[in-house]
């Protein structure tokens, strides 16, 4: 079977609406059968793809994010962000972005961030006379920061694939997340200034603002909410525990705070949270397993070497090669899932990255930011779909507003790509 038929089959399956994980898996299996390769290789590669200790962090971070959402952490983070900028021009849009950044340091998931923060912020922004599609666009583009700011499932996957230090990826991910967040806030301010989105101080709004009283109890609750990212990131950086261990610590902390401190997480809800987390984690693992098989097929056919040769035949200029890589990844992000892109693109592009002498940690950040943009890029951005569902709007309605923010994220991506010290100074 030729690779043309292989990729053609994959495209046909995608057009028919087959999920990406099943698409890459089925196409790979059919290719292996067509080539006469022993079918035992399928089981071996599927199992080896998820038989990695570091991947234990994924189900625990997913569970921690679910527990934080149910336990009232998101509400406290909104109050904290609102205190600073809630009554400024575009204030609530900035609150939404800042809150997504806070929640990103808890859940490590863009989808979880979109669901948790979108359900809180979009109704509040509508009450404050923000256009609903604009509010949804803000959430759908800020939520993907969840895969950039540590803890990040994407960093774990990339670190396992390349042998890179996950702790170094965490360190570089913090400034990268702030660069993308800042680009979104500047865009939100410019649009809000043009449209007159602003809460007047004398209006009676439900969202807390800088002029509201902030009790000692509120302050204590916010400190409890911020405890999670401090424990997770600080523990990893300080060498107290590994990224996988930090995920377990996050789960225990989330349970204790949700049940005993905020008292919003009911005991009878815990099993539901565990069930939802298990389903989400199994989906991620299924994608990883099938993507690993897909990557093996491409390696078997020397696709990475062919891509490198073709790209180098076009140019050996580092600036242009990085531009081409970004364009390819951005296009892939429009129709592929984050984990799949990382697991498929990494072995494909690694020879080029080694050729140009790019630091693997820097490339990991570049790759992750590209996938973050893909989470909100039409037509298949999962954060876009999640936010549309939360807001009760069509994807088309949000997409018109999302374009401005995607352009801002791409500007941030270019800064990260061509000025590596903006993210690597902590490594």
Q: Domain limits of the chain?
A: 38-424
- Whether the pLDDT of residue 200 is over 60: the answer is no
Question: Predicted confidence band at 137 (pLDDT cuts at 50, 70, 90)?
Answer: very high
**What pTM, to 2 d.p., does this model score?**
0.72
**Average pLDDT of every residue of the chain:** 83
Bridge partners, residue 89, by sequence: 198
Q: Report the chain's C-alpha Rg in angstroms.
A: 22
Residues in the chain: 427
Percent of the chain past pLDDT 90, that is, above it, reads 30
> Which residue shows structure tokens 């401090």?
230
**Can you tell me the mean pLDDT for 243-269?**
85
- Whether the pLDDT of residue 206 is over 70: the answer is no
**Can you tell me the mean pLDDT for 374-390?**
81
- On whether the CB atoms of residues 179 and 379 are closer than 8 A, the answer is no
Question: Which of the two residues, 165 and 306, has the higher pLDDT score?
Answer: 165
Residue 420: predicted pLDDT? 96
Residue 107: predicted pLDDT? 65
Q: Out of 15-24, 129-138, 212-221, 413-422, which region has the weakest mean confidence (pLDDT)?
A: 212-221
Question: Which of the two residues, 400 and 104, has the higher pLDDT score?
Answer: 400
Percent of the chain past pLDDT 70, that is, above it, reads 88
Q: What is the 3-state secondary structure (H, E, C) of the chain?
A: CCHHHHHHHHHHHHHCCCCHHHHHHHHHHHHHHHHCCCCHHHHHHHHHHHCCHHHHHHHHHHHHHHHHHHCCHHHHHHHHHHHHHCCCECHHHHHHHHHHHHHHHHHCCHHHHHHHHHHHHHHHHHHCCCCHHHHHHHHHHHHHHHHCCCCCHHHHHHHHHHCCCHHHHHHHHHHHHHHHHHHHHHHHHHHHHHHCCECCCCCCCCCCCCCCCCCHHHHHHHHHHHHHHHHHHHHHHCCCCCHHHHHHHHHHHHHHHHHHHCCCCCHHHHHHHHHHHHHHHHHHHHHHHHHHHHHHHHHHCCHHHHHHHHHHHHCCCHHHHHHHHHHHHHHHHCCCCHHHHHHHHHHHHHHHHHHHCCCHHHHHHHHHHHHHHHCCCCCCCHHHHHHHHHHCCCHHHHHHHHHHHHHHHHHHHHHHHHCCHHHHCCC
What would the two tokens of residue 319 be? 């600036």
Question: Predicted confidence band at 78 (pLDDT cuts at 50, 70, 90)?
Answer: low
Which of 24-38, 73-87, 303-317, 354-368 has the highest mean predicted lDDT (pLDDT)?
354-368
Distance of CA 407 to the CA centre of its chain: 17
Residue 5: predicted pLDDT? 80
Q: Out of 162-171, 222-231, 288-297, which region has the weakest mean confidence (pLDDT)?
A: 222-231
C-beta neighbour count of 75 within 10 angstroms: 17
């Amino acid at each position: 079977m030729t690779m043309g038929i292989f990729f053609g089959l994959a495209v046909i399956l995608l057009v028919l609406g087959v999920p990406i994980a099943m698409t890459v898996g089925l196409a790979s299996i059919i290719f292996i059968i067509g080539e006469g390769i022993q079918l035992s290789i399928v089981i071996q590669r599927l199992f080896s793809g998820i038989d990695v200790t570091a991947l234990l962090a994924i189900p625990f971070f997913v569970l921690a994010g679910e527990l934080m959402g149910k336990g009232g952490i998101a509400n406290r983070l909104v109050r904290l962000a609102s205190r600073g900028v809630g009554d400024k021009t575009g204030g609530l849009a900035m609150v939404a972005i800042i809150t997504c950044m806070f929640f990103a340091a808890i859940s490590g998931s863009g989808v979880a961030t979109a669901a948790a923060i979108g359900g809180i912020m979009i109704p509040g922004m509508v009450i404050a006379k923000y256009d609903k599609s604009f509010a949804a666009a803000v959430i759908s583009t800020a939520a993907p920061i969840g895969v950039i700011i540590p803890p990040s499932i994407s960093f774990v996957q990339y670190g396992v694939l390349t042998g890179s230090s996950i702790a170094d990826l965490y360190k570089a991910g913090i400034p990268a997340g702030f660069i993308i967040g800042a680009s979104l806030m500047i865009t939100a301010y410019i649009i809000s200034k043009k449209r007159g989105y602003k809460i007047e101080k004398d209006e009676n709004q439900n969202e807390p603002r800088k002029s509201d009283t902030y009790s000692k109890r509120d302050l204590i609750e916010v400190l409890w909410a911020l405890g999670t990212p401090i424990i997770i990131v600080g523990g990893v950086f300080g060498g107290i525990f590994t990224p996988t261990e930090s995920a377990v610590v996050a789960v225990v902390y989330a349970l204790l705070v949700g049940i005993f401190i905020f008292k919003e997480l009911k005991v009878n809800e815990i099993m539901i949270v565990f069930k939802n987390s298990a389903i989400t984690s199994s989906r991620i693992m299924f994608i990883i397993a099938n993507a690993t098989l897909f990557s093996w097929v491409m390696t078997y056919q020397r696709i990475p070497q062919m891509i490198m040769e073709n790209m180098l035949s076009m140019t050996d200029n580092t600036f242009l090669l990085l531009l081409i890589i970004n364009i390819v990844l951005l296009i892939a992000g429009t129709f592929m899932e984050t984990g799949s892109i990382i697991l498929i693109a990494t072995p494909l592009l690694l020879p080029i990255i080694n050729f140009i002498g790019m630091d693997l940690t820097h490339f990991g950040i570049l790759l992750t930011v590209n996938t973050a943009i893909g989470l909100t890029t039409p037509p298949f951005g999962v954060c876009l779909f999640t936010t549309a569902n939360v807001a009760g709007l069509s994807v088309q309605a949000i997409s018109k507003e999302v374009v401005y923010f995607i352009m801002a994220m791409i500007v941030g991506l270019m800064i990260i790509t061509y000025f590596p010290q903006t993210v690597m100074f902590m490594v």
